[in-house]
Amino acid sequence: MIASIEGQRGMPRPKPPFPAQSGLWGKPTIINNVETLAHVSRILKVGAEVFKSIGTKDSPGTKTFALTGHVANTGLVEVPFGTTLREIVLNIGGGITDDAGKIWKTGFKAVQIGGPSGGCLTEEHLDLPLAYESLRAVGAMVGSGGLVAMNQGTCMVSIARFFMEFTQRESCGKCVLCREGTNQLLALLDDVIEGRADAGTLELLEKLGHAVQVGSLCGLGKTAPNPVLSTLRYFRKEYEEHIFEKRCRTGRCKALLSPGINEVKCKGCGLCIKACPTGAITGEKKKPHHIDAELCIKCGACATACKIHAVEGI
């Protein structure tokens, strides 16, 4: 930001010197976000004691989270530090929903906390009081205060890729580990999602993620691998399914799907033939139909069209 104001290229500078020592035009500068400044005005108004009476010991006051994703009520919620995830997501947020927006009582899978480069929290963290120190302990961060709730239908590898793509695009391109590293992390995730990965991919993801995290020049790079590292930590099983079983349990990873028609179930009604955009399905009336894997683009239209769920694997 300082560089941009000075009319320079928006790239981070090595620290020290910190902005408070030498910032805008070489002068000591403090940079704060709006929320901090809003708190400052309140502290000045009500006094530090009143402010500190809310929240936890090390994280006093309140925090505004941007709650979104598979929850009934999305939006900004301001809660005292120390409020549990359960309270925010299941109570204030009104509970987890399915893709159609209906409440899904047992649907909770995870939340992504702290923005695109934050970490994931799972069921085991539902009763964790959200505060700086407690989040740090589980490898997550308050960050920008984003809270994205995800239901059981969410593929965690795809989610990691989604956030990775974002941070990769945000890289300023200055330092090697962030510029090239985020790009390669993305490529490795693509390998997992598209069925090209092997055991080495997993190891490389972890090593590269660590290198980018430790070695990057600025905060963006240092936190960029978080989505990968934290999903690897809590949802390793899902990665392994993708890699070794070539299977995505949620069916989101198209490349891993192999739709087929169950010959026993199929009644040969032909509804799927009409639905298929690529003409991949053939079959005589009243006899089991067949999908040509070469032509199939894995769109799932046949499965939706088939009333008796004879199309499987998609």
Partner 1 sequence: MNKATESTLTIDGRTVAIEGEQNLLELVRKANIDLPTFCYHSELSVYGACRLCLVQVEGRGISGACSTPPEPGLKVLTTTPEIREIRKIAVELLLANHDQSCPTCSRSANCQLQSLAQRLGIKKVRFKSVHQPVPLDESSPSLVRDPNKCVLCGDCVRMCSEIQGIGAIDFSHRGHEVMVQPAFGKPLGEVECVNCGQCASVCPTGALTIKSEVDKVWELIADKAKTVIVQIAPAVRVGLGECFGLKPGEITTGRIVAALKHLGFNQVYDTSFAADLTVIEEGTEFLERKTQGGTLPMFTSCCPGWVKYTEQYFPELLPNLSTCRSPQAMFGSLVKAMLPDQMKIERKDLKVVAIMPCTAKKFEAQRPEMGVDGDPDVDYVLTTQELAHMIQSAGIMFDTLQPESFDMPFGFYTGAGVIFGNSGGVMEAVLRYAAEKATGQRLEQVDFQQVRGDSGLREATITVNGSELKLAVVHGLRNARVVAEQVRAGKSRYDLIEVMACPGGCIGGAGQPVSTTRDTRALRTKGLYHADKMLQLHKSQDNVFITECYAKFLGDIGGEKAHHLLHTTYQSRRRIADESLALMQSENEDKLKVSVCLGTNCFLKGSQEVLNGVLRHGEQSGMEGKLDVRAGFCFEKCESGPTVMIGGEHIPNCNAAKAIEEIDRRIENDEPAGTCNGHSCNHCGK
The distance of closest approach from Cβ of residue 286 to ligand SF4 in the complex, given in angstroms and rounded to an integer, is 9
Question: How many angstroms separate the first and last alpha carbons of the chain?
Answer: 47
Q: Which of 5, 6, 15, 263 binds partner 1 (CB under 8 A)?
A: 15
Q: Using the minimum distance from each CB to partner 1, give the nearer residue, 9 or 236.
A: 9
Residue 271 makes contact with partner 1 by CB under 8 A = no
Q: Which does 300 bind (CB under 5 to 8 A by kind): partner 1, ligand SF4, none?
A: ligand SF4
Contact 189, 164 (CB under 8 A): yes
Report in angstroms the alpha-carbon separations of 19 from 4, 12, 23: 14, 11, 4
One-letter amino acid identity for 264?
V
Report the C-alpha gap between 202 and 222 in whole angstroms: 20
The distance of closest approach from Cβ of residue 201 to partner 1 in the complex, given in angstroms and rounded to an integer, is 10
The distance of closest approach from Cβ of residue 26 to partner 1 in the complex, given in angstroms and rounded to an integer, is 13
Residue 2 makes contact with ligand SF4 by CB under 6 A = no
Q: Which does 207 bind (CB under 5 to 8 A by kind): ligand SF4, partner 1, none?
A: partner 1
Per CB under 8 A, which of residues 19..48 are in contact with partner 1?
Answer: none
Q: Is 280 left (phi over 0), alpha (psi -120 to 50) or beta?
A: alpha
Q: Which does 302 bind (CB under 5 to 8 A by kind): partner 1, ligand SF4, none?
A: ligand SF4
Q: What are the φ/ψ torsions at residue 273 (nearest 5 degrees)?
A: -60, -45
Q: Using the minimum distance from each CB to ligand SF4, give the nearer residue, 123 or 312.
A: 312
Sequence-distant (6+) residues with CB within 8 A of 162 are none
Cis peptide before 16 (omega within 30 of 0): yes
Per CB under 6 A, which of residues 268..307 are in contact with ligand SF4?
Answer: 268-272, 275-276, 278, 280-281, 289, 291, 296-302, 305-306
Q: Give the closest residue to 81 by CA, choosing from 43, 55, 58.
A: 55
Query: Which residue in the block uniquely carries the two structure tokens 């990965």?
Result: 197
Q: Which residues bind partner 1 (CB under 8 A)?
A: 9, 11, 13-16, 168-177, 179-184, 187, 200, 204, 207-208, 210-211, 214-217
